[in-house]
């Protein structure tokens, strides 16, 4: 399969240079096969789901529900009813905090988080801790930038109700030992909530050891505004819905109502039908290539990138450079040039990447910087892309000298 052919968007010059996309940690552009599936669905089967008895509505509903099974199989969930469709990782994590957190966390309980968290896996817990008068506890991080599970093992107690943790950091690219964290918190009767936004597109994630896992469709090559919350059935059963309206009810009376079964009680209103259809197709696209192939390719490019920039004077790479502990995100600064100037200079050379706090302000403070530059690769990037980036970065450095 020629993967580049799936992405006509890359066949263009940007600022007179070949376009090099190094922002896949933000979003993975939609491959042609996924786009084709979407237009085919729109042209042949499009109708609202779950509501109509007419043929097309039933066809649309069947395809929508089939995606639940595709996701279930992709992440190793026991039941397809454990898959809740949401608008993204942010919505999934907010749902867990607002519904499960409200039920499970009491005054003086502890919620463990870390400085590595994306704001989406931090602020919902801050707000819950405030509402419940619970304690937000920060798990220590090693010099290399991943969570120190050994230290955490001495911190967990019966009070530790939730460990909310990112599997792989969207800034440092390091991946945490979430299996050990899961064992630690389960031994004390608590649960683990995993932010899988940066891990699910890159590695086999088997959710069976975890209580909740959240991820986004647009980081897998699907549409924006689509995501998944995996939740263990026993927890979804006891959780209350937080969004009320059509499609999520069993019976509505004048003064009270009852809810549909799991997972429908969490999917109020007309869902993102196209988003779910593209999610299913993008997972198939990933499975066709194979997560092992994706991981191997990304590691090769990331190693090449790290080697190519490590000797540039003034350059600091954040997080470990040990490839066994990280994946395809490289975050750096090129002192004394401001990260936004680095990114703007690189844009002039056709290279798209991120500069800023990456929705991780506590991590920026921990690193003692206000912002960084982030390059992230995926299966469609080539060694030529990396070469162009390395040359461009050296040019930016010369320019600002």
Residues belonging to the active site = 359
Residue 297 contacts ligand PLP per CB under 6 A: no
* 228/262 with CB nearer ligand PLP: 228
d(CA 371, CA 355): 7
Element at 283 (helix H, strand E): helix 273-289
Residue 223 contacts ligand PLP per CB under 6 A: no
Contact status, residue 329 vs residue 374, Cβ threshold 8 Å:
yes
Contact status, residue 220 vs residue 278, Cβ threshold 8 Å:
no
114, 166, 278, 388: which one binds ligand PLP (CB under 6 A): 166
How many chain residues interact with ligand PLP (CB under 6 A)?
13
37, 50, 68, 118: which one binds ligand PLP (CB under 6 A): 118
Tokens representing 100 are: 């499960």
Q: CA 376 → CA 89, 114, 160, 337, 353, distances in Å?
A: 19, 22, 34, 20, 8
* 68/219 with CB nearer ligand PLP: 219
d(CA 287, CA 326): 22
* 193/301 with CB nearer ligand PLP: 193
Contact status, residue 154 vs residue 137, Cβ threshold 8 Å:
no
Tokens representing 379 are: 């299966």
- Stretch in the footprint of ligand PLP (CB under 6 A) among 114-122, 180-188, 327-335, 344-352: 114-122
75, 129, 147, 197: which one binds ligand PLP (CB under 6 A): 197
29, 88, 231, 271: which one binds ligand PLP (CB under 6 A): 88
d(CA 113, CA 138): 5
d(CA 353, CA 373): 7
23, 82, 109, 195: which one binds ligand PLP (CB under 6 A): 195
Tokens representing 347 are: 């844009």
Mark residues 14-33: x for contact with ligand PLP by CB under 6 A, - for none.
------------x-------
- Stretch in the footprint of ligand PLP (CB under 6 A) among 68-76, 84-92, 264-272, 369-377: 84-92
Residue 176 contacts ligand PLP per CB under 6 A: no
Tell me the closest approach of the beta carbon of residue 120 to ligand PLP, in angstroms. Answer: 4
Residue 333 contacts ligand PLP per CB under 6 A: no
Relative to beta strand 13-14, strand 110-113 is unpaired
Q: Burial letters for 360-387: b for 16+ Cβ neighbours within 10 Å, e otherwise?
A: bebbbebbebebbbbbbbbbbbeeebbe
Residue 90 contacts ligand PLP per CB under 6 A: yes
- Stretch in the footprint of ligand PLP (CB under 6 A) among 69-77, 131-139, 193-201, 312-320: 193-201
Element at 356 (helix H, strand E): strand 354-356
d(CA 331, CA 317): 6
* 88/231 with CB nearer ligand PLP: 88
Cα Rg of the chain, angstroms: 22
Mark residues 198-217: x for contact with ligand PLP by CB under 6 A, - for none.
x-----------------x-
Tell me the closest approach of the beta carbon of residue 26 to ligand PLP, in angstroms. Answer: 6
- Stretch in the footprint of ligand PLP (CB under 6 A) among 7-15, 28-36, 192-200, 277-285: 192-200
Binding site for ligand PLP (CB under 6 A): 26, 88-90, 118, 120-121, 166, 170, 195, 197-198, 216
């Amino acid at each position: 399969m020629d993967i580049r052919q799936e992405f006509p968007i890359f066949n263009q010059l940007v600022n007179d240079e070949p376009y090099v996309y190094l922002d896949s940690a933000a979003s993975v552009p939609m491959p042609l096969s996924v786009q084709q599936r979407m237009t085919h669905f729109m042209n042949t089967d499009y109708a609202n789901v779950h509501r109509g008895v007419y043929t097309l509505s039933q066809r649309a509903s069947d395809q929508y529900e089939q995606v639940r099974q595709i996701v279930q199989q992709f992440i190793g969930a026991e039941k397809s009813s454990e898959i809740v469709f949401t608008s993204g990782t942010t919505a999934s994590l907010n749902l867990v905090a607002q519904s499960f957190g409200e039920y499970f966390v009491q005054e003086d309980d502890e919620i463990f988080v870390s400085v590595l968290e994306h704001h989406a896996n931090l602020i919902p817990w801050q707000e819950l801790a405030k509402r419940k008068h619970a304690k937000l506890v920060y798990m220590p991080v090693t010099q290399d930038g991943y969570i120190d599970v050994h230290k955490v093992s001495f911190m967990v107690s019966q009070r530790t109700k939730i460990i909310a943790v990112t599997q792989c950091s969207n800034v440092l690219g390091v991946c945490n030992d979430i299996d050990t964290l899961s064992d630690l918190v389960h031994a004390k009767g608590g649960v683990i909530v995993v932010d899988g936004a940066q891990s699910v597109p890159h590695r086999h994630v088997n959710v069976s050891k975890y209580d909740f896992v959240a991820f986004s469709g647009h980081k897998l090559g699907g549409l924006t505004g689509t995501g998944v919350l995996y939740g263990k059935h026993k927890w979804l059963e006891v959780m209350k819905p937080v969004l009320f309206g059509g499609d999520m009810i069993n019976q509505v009376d004048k003064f009270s109502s009852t809810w549909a079964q799991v997972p429908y009680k969490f999917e109020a209103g007309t869902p993102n039908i196209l988003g779910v259809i593209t999610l299913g197709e993008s997972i198939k696209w990933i499975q066709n290539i194979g997560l092992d192939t994706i991981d191997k390719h990304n590691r090769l490019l990331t190693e090449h990138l790290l080697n190519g920039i490590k000797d540039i004077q003034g350059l600091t790479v954040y997080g470990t450079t040990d490839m066994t502990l990280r994946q395809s995100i490289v975050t750096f600064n090129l002192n004394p040039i401001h990260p936004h100037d680095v990114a703007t200079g690189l844009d002039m050379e056709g290279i798209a990447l991120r500069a800023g706090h990456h929705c991780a302000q506590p991590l920026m403070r921990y690193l003692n910087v206000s912002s960084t530059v982030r390059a992230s690769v995926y299966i469609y990037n080539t060694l030529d892309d990396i070469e162009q980036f390395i040359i461009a970065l050296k040019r930016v450095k010369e320019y600002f000298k």
